[in-house]
Amino acid sequence: MARNFLEIHSLQNLTTEFELVKNLKARPLEILEYSDKSFTFEATPRICGLGTIIQLKGKFHIAGNEFDFLATGKVTQSESLDSGKFSKYTVELHRFEKGLWDNFLNANLQSQLNTDMLFRSMRELD
């Protein structure tokens, strides 16, 4: 079963037009958590503050297919992680292709349902 995920290839502060994280083309970020209109990623501390408007360019991997994704959003949370080497950032999406985002959410939901069904059937065999 193909894994569904979003790689971030560019994160830019729209006000300053600076890249927030260097070398994303060589080593893309993956989102960690997501909801209907937001996502979370880890990066070095203090790359941006709360309220920063960002533009992201990325690539969805859904059911073995790739789709380009372009969005703007606002940083709504920033949390330093235990190690101090990374922070967790939450971005609320504002302008994005909702249909593609929904396809991503649905593909992940279906994967979770399939996994749950597999474990249930394994327990029934015991």
| pLDDT tens readout for residues 32-75 | 999 999 999 999 999 999 999 999 999 999 989 999 999 999 99
The pLDDT of residue 101: 96
Provide CB contacts within 8 A for 37, sequence distance 6+: 92, 93
Evaluate whether 21 touches 9 at the Cβ level (below 8 Å).
no
CATH of 5-125, one of 1.10.40.50, 2.40.30.40, 2.40.10.220, 3.30.750.24: 2.40.10.220
